[in-house]
A and B are shown apart, each in its own frame.
Chain A
Amino acid sequence: MKYFLQRIGFYVFTAWAAITLNFFIPRMVPGDPVQSLIAKYKGQLSTDAMQSLYILFGLDQHKSMWAEYVDYWKQIFHGDLGLSFTFFPAPVSQVISQALPWTLLLVGITTIISFLLGTSLGVVAGWRRGSWTDGLLPVTTFFSSVPYFWLGIIAIYLLAGPDSFFPSSGGFDSGLVPAWDQYFIPSAIQHSLLPALTILISSVSGWILSMRNMMVTVASEDYITVAHAKGLSERRVALSYAARNALLPNVSGFALSLGFIVGGTLLVEIVFSYPGLGFTLLQALGARDYPLMQGIFLIITIAVLVANLLADIAYLLLDPRTRKDG
């Protein structure tokens, strides 16, 4: 428990450091993006919005750095991340909350499926090592080393096209309005198939390989021989002894990969022009939209930290050795 509290303390500290860094970076950016923006939208900015920009970008000369810093934290806690330049005058929080579900659903679901599928296949491949399943390993190794986006480009080239069932870009038909109805949902699913398949194929191989290798390592442990000697069924030895122990590193790997759902598949979204967070980040980069970039980085940082925390919790639950005597 003490260990766990230490970890939580560490994550809180990291989050604080990341947010503080986010406060200082724009103050060091050369040039003056806010002034030019204010000039561009002369007259259209409300006083409130301008005040918020001043605080975020440190242009509020009447205040001390410390007072600005306090204001900055207040804004963060109210979910106010400033206004986006590219989607002006939409607030950053709104832009992010529109893009985030796309990424969460696409990458989240594929990550979970990929983990479950890859781990199960890895258990079988590891337990039956030396059989025909070993012949599939080179293929798996190939796919796990191919970058996502490259696979995505190939998939678009081979499968997408004007007459194809698979659309090559976007998250839904351009004629539709996002809504939970019978037109929009099938279209969204149809658009997600190719990117999902791309992510699935290149990530499932990694899970298969790591689980298989752990199974092979664990299979030579003494307690596996003992389990056989005890006359337990093959199934029980394979699942409750071998797979249960081999799972440990994979589960924490999975928890960590949840953190990369948000930012890790940026390139796939870019290749497929998928309206998720990665694609939005690309747009923000192109337009030097600092508030949006900051907001997205903040979300990515928090996601990674939460995932690390989940990995710790998973390990704590699965491996009794990490629980200090209780």
Chain B
Amino acid sequence: MAEPVLEIRNLNVDYGLGDRAVHAVRDVNLTLHRGEVLGLAGESGSGKSTLAYGLTRLLAPPGVITGGQVIYHPAQGSSYDVLALSDNGLREWRWAETAIVFQGAMNSLNPVHKISTQLMDVLKAHEPNMSAHSRAARAREMLKLVGISADRMDAYPHQLSGGMRQRVMIGMALILQPQVVIMDEPTTALDVVMQRQILGQLIELRERLGFSVIFITHDLSLLVEFSNRIAIMYGGRIVEEAPANTIYRDALHPYSKGLLSSFPALRGPRRELTGIPGSPPDLAGMPAGCSFHPRCPKAFEPCGSAIPVLGRPDTPDGAGRSVACWLHPAEQPVG
């Protein structure tokens, strides 16, 4: 497998302080490898966005990182912990190394500035020696890359359609040629055809430019189609992680199975749509043991008392995957 570019180690994020803190991300261990698309799925409220904001240190109060490391491996030079960077170091790291396309990217553009201004101020901040002329040239090039004609440079956000704004954000994310692009539900506001078109384009760009992607959505069908590996989140934890088609064919965690059965099969034999009974866990009062046990059809004796750790399962194909479930006790914990 390719070398890692981003390693999230034991990351914990809370909202609020003290007893009333909500633990939105718990002991998350996740590795993004060079050139891959890592999908992150889970019900609404499972902590996907919090994880993305946490690892880029963009959490708005009351969000706080309470522990962990985010080890970044630059293309050249030695690795470092993003969470330990100074303010200046963090500013330089942002966008140049890791860019984000946000959930609700419709409002990601400032309504009072031209598209060109918003594309070029990134360049001004990160490459201060660049001439105004080459900044404009680069901005035009990025628009072309995402299929927007250069004469839209001077447009204001409200003059563009939702899909175009989304493309502008993707072009903006790639303008400094980062190694990592995080996409948090980048297309939920768009219609299905547009979603696939934009994601398809992104994957093509990834093959050409060679960046890695963390792709967050609760739409598993999109994930299975566009990612190499998939991690499933439940109640702030990663509960299963495996290559995309392994998850699709043979998920081990009962929650992953539930998620998969709640959307129609893309191709192949039709499956019965069952969904998951019960409602997502209350983060403030998480059940003891495996937090999925009140909803789990397979829950048994250890589930209510002890937390299953994420690790390599006891299955024949166990090497490339990990799961946190007492049905498949970890032989080798991750992290």
Contacts and interface: CB of A to CB of B under 8 A. Distances in A.
Interface string A218-253: 001111011111111100100011001100100000
A60 interface: no
Interface string B100-137: 10101101111111100000011001100000000000
A130 B159 CA distance: 36
A222 B104 contact: yes
Given A223-B108, A229-B58, A320-B111, 5 more contacts: A222-B107, A227-B110, A231-B90, A236-B121, A325-B159
Nearest to A323: B156
A248 B91 CA distance: 28
A134 interface: no
Nearest to A221: B107
B61 interface: yes
Contact of B110 (A220, A229, A245): A245
A188 B164 CA distance: 60
A231 B56 CA distance: 11
A104 interface: no
9 contacts: A220-B60, A223-B109, A223-B110, A229-B102, A231-B92, A232-B91, A233-B125, A240-B113, A240-B121
Interface string B50-71: 0000001010110000000000
B58 A244 contact: no
A230 B102 contact: no
A319 interface: yes
Contact of B125 (A232, A245, A248, A319): A232
B56 A229 contact: yes
Interface in A248-286: 248
Given A231-B93, A231-B95, A236 B104 contact: no
Nearest to A228: B58
B94 A321 contact: no
Interface in A298-321: 318-321
B154 to A, nearest CB: 10
Contact of A319 (B96, B112, B172): B112
Nearest to A322: B158
Ranked nearest first, the 5 interchain pairs of A and B with the lowest CB-CB distance are A231-B94, A222-B107, A320-B156, A223-B110, A231-B91
B107 A321 contact: no
A276 to B, nearest CB: 37
Nearest to B105: A222
Contacts of B90: 231
Interface in A111-164: 130
Contact of A225 (B99, B102, B111): B102
